[in-house]
Chains A and B, each alone.
Chain A
């Protein structure tokens, strides 16, 4: 029971499998009959009339011509009509022959009309059936027409259209592809096949699109639209090697001149890991089409991949004024550059917008919180980290660790410890995490545990500078100056090796002063 309605009131359409009200005669989704007595074809079933084997999705029994949707035989209908056209013979003598004549005339006319019905254009018939809204019948008619006339292009095209309407894009694509082969001069069925394949969706849909487009460009190498579709389809299929080849082929066919392919050549080369060629192509595009947001965005992305951060950030920033097609990720990447450069306010602004652009991306939420923290908005950052850590995204544990660092700054040691437990429960076990745990122990006046935590952190990552610093400070505080200074020097060594001077000067001074103190004593 659900919402006061019984399940028995709904029934599953035997044709499209979707739920439909049981009282309906036909399925509101595909038009298939729902009433008892209607015959639903199913895979491996038999025709109810002639017991011949039929396939799931078939509408007409190819053996006896029975419409599997209605259970009626097409021929029987004709016979019935034929029988209905007969009239009883008259008794009156005077009018006997006249009546016979009339009857003969009527009979001849009926026979002519019946023959016309039986022997006339089934495609036109199917078309008129479809126009009357009887799609299943039209499909059956056209199926029969296809069977009887396999080389009828019109039948194939109509079949494809009807199948599209009936929600069977894969078969529609087959029909359109068949139509394309029947008349190589007209590319339209090829495009219809592409649309049908696109309707399929998923990898198979893309594969079918690509196949159809390959055939189309083979048959019609002058179809620029087809080339563009093929190139973009290969990109969407992440088949960048073939995408680059397709661009090359299109160029050879004279169908990819100048900037007609837009960012695709650059993007394809970038994703195919040919970054210098990608940069060259995108720079040319950006110069030729300065208002093309994607050109600047893609160039920024390629420069970023090449490690040219500053230039990348400039190009990404420039793209944002020109409506790139992936604004969320562009903003996200740019915000990370701003964070790295210490431009926290700008990073915040970008991340705020990126959250709207790609709300499903939990990374953006994490870095938004991180930017808040760096901008000194500790309370707001804490709220955001809490939200991220409560979720199940890839940054949930890291957000809990960040919460702990924030809470430690306000000496909220217990809450920091709770946050670290949460991070631990989520499976995080990094050197950073252990170091922060050590700080918590130290603040809880448990230097032994703190030392253990720092040593575990160093064991996990001997090059994690912060662990050496904390251990050094702890030892200095415990008056173990030798070891303390040694660890602090290790910290300095690692920092210098990393090319970072953050907090190095002050620790250098501390070490120098401590050494003087040691010498003096």
Chain B
């Protein structure tokens, strides 16, 4: 081990110098490599990642430029980036091997493909020709299987680099000579591809099985991992996955208010507004001074309230505006809109009460009509029904339940009207005797005639009688004969 160290160091330096730019296996070769590696790792037990091919391949499909953008040092020191990624994924594995983890394995696989592809130092033209030919040849290629081993990236990739460059110059020369992918390239291709597969599988194996706690992974990196995972899962739109992942991610690293805010932004951008607001509210609960978040919440609720108001969902609109005002009491519209919604609710409730009252009146009138009809008083019955019909017609279509009652009531009333009109003529004699009601008044009037004068005269008579009686008592002694 000691003897190899200076050599490896030199190779590492060379590797760094010969770091890949856009050099890597072609896409089909990359896909074949990581797919095979996944199968190998799965076959080795513990991590059935082959079931997550879709996500691994999505990671592989990420353009190298994107990887370079995320990890600028990948262009100059890809092994360090691989090493960091391994450390990060090993740390992330504590949470859960989920689809995003698989996606990251795919990206890692792509990085390894880039590092382990031959002709890294060759001219771009011959290199691309080779990778294209390799892509064409990969379909029927039989890859060699190696036993899994734990990887120390620095030494591992230095060793691989040495193996890779053994035939690179010859292959390049043959391409220049027009031999192309026939001689050396073709014969070494299975070994080179198998090497890449083994590298990917070994690195993954190391990530998935390593018992050593990786150092050098910062909380910030974990948070970024978690946020990236959230973004990936949100973009996928599988909320069940998201729920499950959030729980695992919270074990991995505590969510800061800022993280929740960013998750909220992601959710909002993806159209998951309720979840976004829930995330924002979590932020506000933890950090009430986050005016930016409060504004987002308030704006969201105002927008939502406006929509609800337009749809006539007044209570929901009012609640939305109230939530907006609560989130941001200084919001320029929220309170005014809430009051407007309240006013509309009051007005609507008033209209609804009036409709219910009209329905109630109509029902009562109809009941009275039926009572009259039962007594064969069809004229009164019809009169009541016509009043009931008018009452039903006061009800508009605004409230579905009331409108339905109105429709039913009107139908019944009109049926009865037609039915009773037929019965009316035959019932005419039942009105006999009703013309005498005024006779009572006439009789009373006659009874009153002169009664006032009689009473007044009686009072006058009695007044005098009382005077005489009083005088009689007073004069009684004088009437006596002494």
| Interface status of B150 (Cβ within 8 A of chain A) | no
A236 to B382: give the CA distance in the assembly, Å: 60
Number of B residues, CB within 8 Å of A: 54
| Interface status of A195 (Cβ within 8 A of chain B) | yes
Is A495 in contact with B438, judged by CB distance below 8 angstroms?
yes
Is B479 in contact with A164, judged by CB distance below 8 angstroms?
yes
Is B460 in contact with A236, judged by CB distance below 8 angstroms?
yes
Is A264 in contact with B463, judged by CB distance below 8 angstroms?
yes
Is B463 in contact with A297, judged by CB distance below 8 angstroms?
no
Contact of B379 among A130, A432, A510 (CB under 8 A): A510
Q: What is the predominant secondary structure among interface residues of chain A facing chain B?
A: helix
In the assembled complex, the CB of B14 is this many whole angstroms from the nearest CB of chain A, namely 112
Is B463 in contact with A271, judged by CB distance below 8 angstroms?
no
| Interface status of B434 (Cβ within 8 A of chain A) | yes
Segment touching B, from A67-75, A330-338, A375-383, A419-427: A330-338
| Interface status of A192 (Cβ within 8 A of chain B) | yes
Given contacts A506-B380, A510-B424, contact A198 B468 (CB under 8 A): yes
Chain A residues contacting B382 (CB-CB under 8 Å) are 509, 513
Is A271 in contact with B460, judged by CB distance below 8 angstroms?
yes
- Most chain A beta-carbon neighbours within 10 Å: one of B428, B443, B460, B471: B460
| Interface status of B5 (Cβ within 8 A of chain A) | no
Is B460 in contact with A232, judged by CB distance below 8 angstroms?
yes
Segment touching B, from A39-47, A246-254, A464-472: A464-472
| Interface status of A339 (Cβ within 8 A of chain B) | yes
Given contacts A130-B481, A194-B471, contact A326 B428 (CB under 8 A): no
Chain B residues contacting A466 (CB-CB under 8 Å) are 435-436, 438-439
Segment touching A, from B218-226, B303-311, B449-457: B449-457
Chain A residues contacting B441 (CB-CB under 8 Å) are 340, 500
Chain A residues contacting B440 (CB-CB under 8 Å) are 339-340, 370, 374
Residue of A nearest to B468 (CB): A198
Number of A residues, CB within 8 Å of B: 86
Segment touching B, from A77-85, A91-99, A107-115, A298-306: A298-306
| Interface status of A392 (Cβ within 8 A of chain B) | no
A383 to B104: give the CA distance in the assembly, Å: 110
Q: What is the predominant secondary structure among interface residues of chain B facing chain A?
A: helix
Is A162 in contact with B459, judged by CB distance below 8 angstroms?
no
Is B433 in contact with A405, judged by CB distance below 8 angstroms?
yes
In the assembled complex, the CB of B374 is this many whole angstroms from the nearest CB of chain A, namely 15
A108 to B467: give the CA distance in the assembly, Å: 57
Q: Which of A220-252 contact B (CB under 8 A)?
A: 225, 228-229, 232-233, 235-236, 238
Can you list, as one digit per residue, whether each of B73-96 has a CB less than 8 Å from chain A (1) or not (0)?
A: 000000000000000000000000
In the assembled complex, the CB of A472 is this many whole angstroms from the nearest CB of chain B, namely 8
A517 to B428: give the CA distance in the assembly, Å: 13
Contact of A476 among B377, B428, B435, B474 (CB under 8 A): B428
| Interface status of A417 (Cβ within 8 A of chain B) | no
Chain A residues contacting B463 (CB-CB under 8 Å) are 232, 235-236, 262-264, 267, 294, 325
A324 to B471: give the CA distance in the assembly, Å: 21
Given contacts A158-B481, A188-B478, contact A476 B425 (CB under 8 A): yes
In the assembled complex, the CB of A358 is this many whole angstroms from the nearest CB of chain B, namely 9
Can you list, as one digit per residue, whether each of B458-470 has a CB less than 8 Å from chain A (1) or not (0)?
A: 1111111111100
**B interface residues, Cβ below 8 angstroms from A:** 377-380, 382-383, 386, 421, 424-425, 428-429, 431-441, 443-444, 447-448, 451-468, 471-472, 474-475, 478-482
Q: List 10 A-B contacts (CB under 8 A).
A: A192-B478, A192-B479, A195-B468, A264-B460, A325-B463, A332-B451, A466-B439, A506-B434, A509-B379, A510-B428
**A interface residues, Cβ below 8 angstroms from B:** 127, 130-131, 158, 161-162, 164-165, 188, 191-192, 194-195, 198, 225, 228-229, 232-233, 235-236, 238, 262-264, 267-268, 270-271, 294, 297-298, 301-302, 304-305, 324-326, 329-330, 332-333, 336, 339-340, 363, 366-367, 370, 374, 398, 405, 408-409, 432, 435, 439, 442, 465-470, 473-474, 476-477, 484, 491, 495, 498, 500, 502-503, 505-510, 513-514, 516-517
